[in-house]
Structure 1
Amino acid sequence: MGIIYQTNKKTGITYAYQNESYWDKEKQQSRANRKLLGKVDSASGTIIPTRAYKKMSQSVESSSVKPGPVAMTKYQRSFFGATYLFDQIGKSLGITTDLKSCFPNDYKKIQSIAYYLILEENNSMSRFSHWQKLHIHPYGEDIVSQRSSELFQSINEENRMRFFEKQGKRRIEKEYWAFDTTSISSYSETLSQVKKGRNKEHDRLPQINLALLFGEESGLPFYYRKLAGNITDVKTIKQLMSEFDVMGYKKVRIVLDRGFYSKKNVDLLYKNHQKFLVGVKLGLNYIKSVLEEERANLRLWSNLKTQFGTYGICRQIDWDYEQERPYKGDTIKDTRRAYLLLFYNPEKAAKDQSDMNDYLTRLYNDLIDGTRKDYCGRDYDKYFTVTETPKRGRKVVPKEEAMREAANNYGYFALLSNEVNDPFEALSIYRSKDIVEKGFGNLKERLNFRRMQVSSELSLNGKLFVGFIALIYLSYVKKKMQDAGLFDKWTLQGLLDELDVIELFEAPTHGRVLGEVTEKQTELYHALGVEPPSL
């Protein structure tokens, strides 16, 4: 059960409806019952009840709820320290406020499940009942499996996008945003976006793709999007720009891996006036030309930054900009200023050579054994010639010219930007996109999202959203730990366990009594930017 919002186009008034999803056995599809709650105040965002609903609510409240605080009826001792930490993070980042605004009936359930996903690493929702008996958490009650499924199905697209918009505006223009995608395998045969596609792990299961957007300085995620499993990275930028526009994100500064590079994508970024930093392949003609001119200069001592162990230079270039105008049937052609940033790293050169030698050996063995891999298809023909005769059998000959060309670029890499012209500032920003990879790792491993075991689109959408909320809290803690140097002494799990043992004792007629908070725990709270608990 959740709340959806609809705006009357004639009056401009937005109404809130209580939405309850159910499964129609005859039509074999999800349906919903809606009940009008009231109109939404444009200034505060609160719901002003209609007369019937207000009267009904007052009737229920007067008959079942007595004024004043709810009396404690039983003795209870619960773990409190870790969930208290998340409560304070939720307040400081605006997560609680934004969730309450977008999901007024369910925000506490969403937070409680998010806390559980973080603290009970790799556990399924079936363990929530046990966990919640031992912990203080926002919802304060059990969420059985059926109720959690209903919660996931009630999280609709409109409220999800409103949450992204609110979170993004808290940090817009303050930092570069790193964007990347990953794959999540699924056993389901009923999800429409589960498709066979390529992934870095060469998993044979069908998959969906997930795109994540992180702030490079804050280390926090604030947007994600689910994609069909056969969608490649390079095709996602146009949709990303469209959704930025929907959410009102202007003047965005974005960092992209080279898998997102294409001329059309860069043209689109220019068209939308977005500041960007994107990885580019050395094989592109305009990059090869500049690199050959600058190869000797690039490796001079004056271009070395010992902090990075890397040489770097910047060349201003003219970008050949094109914009198709379908409504006029023509194409605008112009030039735009761009900065090509070239780098050489000796350690990377040695690693590139070692990795390439291993890769070529695997390709050669596959060809000898007749065990070609689909994901290596082009490289077999690029680096080897295969002949086979009845007498001499199969013969695999290396294409040395192609291998020499690859070896010539060991240790080199390039970035393209329309804003950053300092090579090492650009390198620092670009390396920060690793936080997205770490975010994917947290989502898949710690939050148990490596295999999505859901049977409906609605459940998948809702579960991903709650997992995303958990990822915000988790990313905040990890960033604070990194900034404070806590990983030298603590693991993430060890730190959360250290705080989790702080108890809260509740007793009838006596109220709440906070358990002991040690000096070590106090120091941890302060390092994480949170005041220690007190009653």
Structure 2
Amino acid sequence: MSRGKSKGCFATFVERKSPALYTALKMHDRSSHSTGKKRLKYLCSTLIGRLDAATGEIVPTDGRGHKKTEPAVQPKQGPIPISHTDRRFFGATYLFDRISEKIGVTADLKQCFPKDYKKILSIVYYLIFEDANLLCRFGRWSRIHRHPFSTDITSQRSSELFASVTEEAKSQFFCLQGKRRVEKEFWAYDSTSISSYSEHLQQVRYGKNKDYDPLHQINLALLFGKKSNLPFYYRKLAGNIPNVKTVRELVKELNILGYERIKLVMDRGFYSAGNINELFKNHYKFIVSASTALSYAKAAIKKQGTLMRSWQNYSEKYELYYYSESIAWDYTQERLYKGDAIKGSKRMYLHFYYNPEKAIEDGKNFNRYMSKLQNELLTGKHFSEHEAAYKKYFETKETPIRGIQIAPRQGAMDEARSRCGCFLLLSNEVKDAIPTLELYRNRDVVEKAFGNLKERLNGRRTLVSSNQSPEGKLFVEFIALIYLSYIKKKMEEKDLFKKYTLQSLLDELDVIECYEEPGKAVIVGEILRKQVQIYEDLGVGAPVDETSLD
């Protein structure tokens, strides 16, 4: 190629400034079927960079003459390993860590939520420690406390976490936790209502509210281990579903989860003949309260008479009389696939209890009720729910001259008054009355748990408006309830409530600090003997040896 023919061409410029590049382009051009002039012109018209006049090297550009820069690498999400020295409060979250390891919550959460278990644990710790505080304040707590996730979880991230909790992962967690404490243990089963400001949630309905809250509600059913005093299962229900309707579904879900040797303790609201048949059908053991107005209960009370109140049947510990007998339960199992029913008898124990003090109070309430019914009949202000009681306890006549005449049915009133102070427990497992009573009374752990959930964990009312978020939020609150139940049980066993409230005990431990430095073990601050004693009373080891104590 002569310089005269290519004067002003970029190829000439390349030949002068970088002979090596020009030679490479020319060799590439010769391998083509095109003419040398056309190929070289095509190749030279492609912008590949800027030629450095000093070095003769080609510097890549972005098309506008600017030097190309590598794109910034986005940091990975999740906890960031400590990269600077820090000092945080440590004592209370250390307690939660040890409890979590002891009862298997960390291991089970890690198996069910491998990516998010540390976030869940951190939010749980916050809910326990910050009494009834909203999650929007998590960042402040996170900056001064050592916790599993180690960094802040914003409100948006926590909402995304709640929405990501699946039914499959929850069921797996219930199964793992239940198998840790299923052996030879009665389970207390009860439900409570949680009010909601939102009317857009699918299961929010008007229903019987135990807190007399006028809002819509959802119902929450909970299973609690009697010996461990720890919850391990819950179900969220529509707000208008009565307790008696939940037992059959509970039995189905427990079968799916693979639990065996199930023993349930339930109050009167769960009693029905159909539920008893369902429990017998699945070979479940049970203790359930029932009405003394049932036909077989009235027959037994009439048969025993004053014998039930004899001195040899008196319990000084519980200040009541008791009596037990065995009956044959008329068992029926409907077979839908065959269109028939299997009938037979099952053995069941009736345990009666008579409390003289309760009898006086029940008698007063009964008399007030009779007066109320009579007044409604005389004034003509009837209530549909009282119609059966009007006919049972009063005979009503109306004449043109004397008007409405009310006459009491004394026999029915005497029969009802004879049951004042009495209550009944049924069981297919426990033969003796006092052990049955003790097992039943221990179900108050569920009531305490509902109190913890509503008050301390801010669960009295739901503040979310999507159907996914409340499911996840309830699950995280349920995890927090496990820790609270463990701590309160240990405090009761060691009589710590005489010295501390739950919050003051956590505050006593929370003053312990830790010092963190990159690449080194955590250094725990000073710890007093009384703090070590608290750790020991709660069943965990202190974070330092006693030799280093003041």
TM-score (norm 2): 0.79
1:439 aligned residue (437, 445, 449): 449
User: For the Cα contact (< 8 Å) 1:173–1:253, is it kept in 2?
Assistant: no
Instruction: Note if 1:294 corresponds to 2:294.
Output: no
Instruction: Note if 1:485 corresponds to 2:482.
Output: no
More strand by share: 1
Shift of 1:279: 0.5
CA distance in 2, matches of 1:260, 1:330: 26
> Residue 337 of structure 1 corresponds to which residue in structure 2?
347
More deviation, 373-382/142-151? 373-382
Instruction: Note if 1:187 corresponds to 2:187.
Output: no
Shift of 1:79: 1.5
CA distance in 2, matches of 1:388, 1:78: 81
Cα RMSD for the two superposed structures: 3.1
> CA 1:133–1:315 in structure 2 vs 1: closer, same or farther (change >3 Å)?
same
CA distance in 2, matches of 1:531, 1:523: 9
Instruction: Note if 1:452 corresponds to 2:436.
Output: no
Uncovered stretches (5+) of structure 2, i.e. residues with no partner: 1-72, 546-550
CA distance in 2, matches of 1:204, 1:426: 37
Deviations 1:395-414 (A, max 9, x none): 99987665544332121111
Deviations 1:13-68 (A, max 9, x none): xxxxxxxxxxxxxxxxxxxxxxxxxxxxxxxxxxxxxxxxxxxxxxxxxx9999xx
Residue type of the alignment partner of 2:356:
P
> Residue 8 of structure 2 corresponds to which residue in structure 1?
none
CA distance in 2, matches of 1:112, 1:393: 72
Shift of 1:148: 0.3
CA distance in 2, matches of 1:235, 1:176: 21
Instruction: Note if 1:118 corresponds to 2:132.
Output: no
CA distance in 1, matches of 2:276, 2:148: 45
1:175 aligned residue (166, 169, 185): 185
TM-score (norm 1): 0.81
Aligned to 1:218, the other structure's residue is in SS state coil
Residue type of the alignment partner of 1:489:
K
1:217 aligned residue (210, 220, 227): 227
Shift of 1:324: 0.7
Instruction: Note if 1:99 corresponds to 2:109.
Output: yes
Aligned to 2:175, the other structure's residue is in SS state helix
Instruction: Note if 1:127 corresponds to 2:149.
Output: no
> CA 1:509–1:180 in structure 2 vs 1: closer, same or farther (change >3 Å)?
closer
> Residue 245 of structure 1 corresponds to which residue in structure 2?
255
2:417 aligned residue (377, 391, 407): 407
> Residue 98 of structure 2 corresponds to which residue in structure 1?
88
> CA 1:72–1:137 in structure 2 vs 1: closer, same or farther (change >3 Å)?
closer
Residue type of the alignment partner of 2:279:
L
1:277 aligned residue (271, 276, 287): 287
Shift of 1:527: 0.8
Aligned to 1:531, the other structure's residue is in SS state coil
CA distance in 1, matches of 2:387, 2:144: 54
Residue type of the alignment partner of 1:263:
A
Uncovered stretches (5+) of structure 1, i.e. residues with no partner: 1-62
> Residue 140 of structure 1 corresponds to which residue in structure 2?
150
Percent of pairs with identical residues: 53
Shift of 1:132: 1.1
1:425 aligned residue (430, 435, 442): 435
More deviation, 385-394/454-463? 385-394
CA distance in 2, matches of 1:321, 1:525: 51
> CA 1:75–1:364 in structure 2 vs 1: closer, same or farther (change >3 Å)?
farther
Shift of 1:534: 2.4
> CA 1:298–1:150 in structure 2 vs 1: closer, same or farther (change >3 Å)?
same
CA distance in 2, matches of 1:102, 1:347: 51
CA distance in 1, matches of 2:506, 2:388: 47
Aligned to 1:278, the other structure's residue is in SS state strand
> Residue 26 of structure 2 corresponds to which residue in structure 1?
none
Aligned to 2:522, the other structure's residue is in SS state strand
CA distance in 2, matches of 1:89, 1:373: 54
Deviations 1:322-360 (A, max 9, x none): 001111111111011111111111222233335556666
Deviations 1:427-480 (A, max 9, x none): 000001111111111111111111111111110100000000000000000111
> CA 1:71–1:201 in structure 2 vs 1: closer, same or farther (change >3 Å)?
closer
Aligned to 2:168, the other structure's residue is in SS state helix
User: For the Cα contact (< 8 Å) 2:184–2:261, is it kept in 1?
Assistant: no
Deviations 1:182-222 (A, max 9, x none): 11111112111101111222322111110000011111000
Aligned to 2:527, the other structure's residue is in SS state coil
Shift of 1:507: 4.7
> Residue 18 of structure 1 corresponds to which residue in structure 2?
none
